[in-house]
């Protein structure tokens, strides 16, 4: 079976925040041949489609979600192909796995991304970034799949990138299937040490082991969302089983039995307070599914 269908998948199991109801269906693409079946699936399901990776940037609503999810989940070990300073990986490889490959091969450029738990595909789709770098800085080209065109490569320069934003330039559903990176030569020891520094800094300032979806709001131009939330009194603010982290006010934590309703209410209170106090509008970084 190259396209596995699961009906009513639980969003709590598919996301790092661990909350939410059920989607309509989840299509897991098990290999490249599964993409033919995926074309027929996309035709059948219509427009409520969403690609999902590790679910580490998703806040799923409670109850029934009218969504058909598509996940690249191949049944083989995700391996990197390396040629000089260029590294090509399948999009279902996890970013920490890619960083381990870069350490072993002494390839530099992505050390600031240590601690981001998502898949390579999800990280491209979010243009994930931290500590002054992002995916765009190292991506050379992306192999996309769309129902119309199938698989094709697109150079990074011909894709649209922004702050936590990526677009293929059309509204058509797409799956990131493979990514090629261009890195700079370095040594194993140097890359390892820079990755360790980044991760140590994150461990000291962010709740890296809690159930979160990373930063909940984007940093407004010229501001830190975490500082605004802190100054507005939201650090450690709880509602039911959800709460803004004591460690970093821009991380919303599920303390065990949180719900999306509680998360969204806290986000709405925080947005209103920050707007009232500082005249700044906070925009969600998490993808909210309702
Ligand atoms: C502890 C923690 C720390 C984090 N730190 C950071 C950080 O420092 N910087 C940062 O930017 N983010 C951070 N995040 C958020 C998250 O890890 C990143 O956004 C990550 O890149 C998302 O990858 P994912 O596979 O989990 O994507 P998902 O959460 O599954 O999906 C995110 C978006 O990508 C799309 N998508 C996913 N896979 C594909 C695909 N194959 N093809 C097309 N679209 C796809 C989805 O439709 C959705 O719109 C953090 C999260 C956690 C839990």
Q: Indicate whether residue 245 lines ligand 1 (CB < 6 A).
A: no
Measuring CA to CA, which residue among 186, 176, 34, 160 is closest to residue 105?
Answer: 186
| Number of domains the chain contains | 3
Residue 219 in any domain: the answer is no
| pLDDT(1) > 80 | no
Ligand 1 pocket test, candidate residues 118, 208, 209, 216, most atoms within 8 A of CB: 118
- Residue 106 is predicted with a pLDDT of 98
Q: Indicate whether residue 270 lines ligand 1 (CB < 6 A).
A: no
Tell me which H or E stretch contains 43.
helix 34-45
Residue 135 in any domain: the answer is yes
Residue 220 in any domain: the answer is no
Ligand 1 pocket test, candidate residues 15, 60, 126, 143, most atoms within 8 A of CB: 126
- Show the domain range for 132: 81-205
State the CATH number of the domain containing residue 271.
3.90.78.10
Q: Indicate whether residue 58 lines ligand 1 (CB < 6 A).
A: yes
Per-residue pLDDT tens digits for 256-285 = 999 999 999 999 999 999 999 999 999 999
253 is an active site residue:
no
Cα separation, 160 vs 236, in Å, equals 36
pTM over the 0.85 mark: yes
Angle in degrees, 0-180, between the axes of helices 95-104 and 188-205, rounded to the nearest 10: 150
Per-residue pLDDT tens digits for 61-81 = 999 999 999 999 998 888 999
Do the beta carbons of residue 121 and residue 135 sit within 8 Å?
no
| pLDDT(128) > 90 | yes
Q: Indicate whether residue 51 lines ligand 1 (CB < 6 A).
A: yes
Do the beta carbons of residue 199 and residue 130 sit within 8 Å?
no
> What is the residue-wise DSSP string for 132-145?
TEEGGGTEEEEEEE
Ligand 1, residue 119: give the atom nearest the CA: 25
End residue of a domain, out of 72, 90, 125: 72
End residue of a domain, out of 72, 96, 125: 72
As a whole number, the mean pLDDT across the chain is: 97
Between the CA of 14 and the centroid of ligand 1 the distance, in Å, is 12
Tallying the residues shown for the chain, one arrives at 290
- The residue annotated as part of the active site, out of 111, 178, 192, 215, is 215
Per-residue pLDDT tens digits for 82-125 = 999 999 999 999 999 999 999 999 999 999 999 999 999 999 99
| pLDDT(36) > 70 | yes
Phi, psi of 81 (to 5 degrees): -105, 125
End residue of a domain, out of 34, 49, 72: 72
Answer positive or negative: Cα dihedral of 164, 134, 183, 73.
Answer: negative
- Residue 147 is predicted with a pLDDT of 95
Between the CA of 277 and the centroid of ligand 1 the distance, in Å, is 30
Per-residue pLDDT tens digits for 155-205 = 999 999 999 999 999 999 999 999 999 999 999 999 999 999 999 999 999
- Residue 109 is predicted with a pLDDT of 98
Per-residue pLDDT tens digits for 211-240 = 999 999 999 999 999 999 999 999 999 999
Between the CA of 177 and the centroid of ligand 1 the distance, in Å, is 15
Residue pointed to by tokens 């082991």: 209
In a shared domain, residues 199 and 86:
yes
Do the beta carbons of residue 48 and residue 289 sit within 8 Å?
no
**Mean pLDDT, residues 34-45 taken together:** 95
């Amino acid at each position: 079976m190259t396209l596995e269908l699961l009906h009513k998948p639980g969003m709590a199991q598919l996301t790092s925040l661990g909350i939410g109801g059920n989607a309509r269906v989840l299509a897991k693409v098990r290999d490249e041949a599964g993409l033919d079946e995926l074309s027929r699936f996309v035709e059948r399901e219509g427009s409520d489609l969403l690609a999902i990776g590790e679910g580490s940037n998703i806040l799923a609503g409670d109850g029934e979600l009218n969504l058909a999810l598509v996940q690249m989940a191949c049944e083989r070990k995700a391996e990197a192909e390396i040629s000089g300073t260029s590294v090509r990986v399948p999009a279902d490889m996890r970013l920490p796995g890619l960083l381990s490959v870069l350490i072993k091969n002494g390839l530099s450029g992505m050390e600031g991304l240590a601690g981001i738990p998502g898949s390579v595909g999800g990280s491209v789709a979010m243009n994930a970034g931290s500590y002054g770098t992002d995916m765009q800085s190292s991506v050379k080209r992306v192999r996309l799949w769309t129902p119309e065109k199938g698989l094709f490569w697109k150079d990074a320069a011909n894709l649209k990138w922004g702050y936590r934003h990526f677009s293929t330039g059309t509204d058509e559903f797409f799956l990131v299937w493979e990514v090629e990176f261009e890195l700079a030569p370095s040594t194993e020891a140097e890359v390892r040490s820079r990755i360790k520094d980044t991760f140590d800094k994150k461990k000291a300032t962010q709740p890296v082991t809690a159930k979160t979806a990373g930063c909940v709001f984007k940093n407004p131009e010229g501001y830190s969302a975490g500082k605004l939330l802190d100054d507005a009194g939201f650090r450690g603010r709880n509602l039911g089983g959800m709460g803004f982290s004591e460690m970093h006010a821009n991380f919303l934590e599920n303390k065990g039995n949180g719900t999306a309703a509680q998360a969204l209410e806290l986000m709405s209170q925080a947005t209103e307070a920050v707007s009232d106090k500082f005249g700044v509008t906070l925009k969600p970084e998490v993808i909210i599914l309702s």
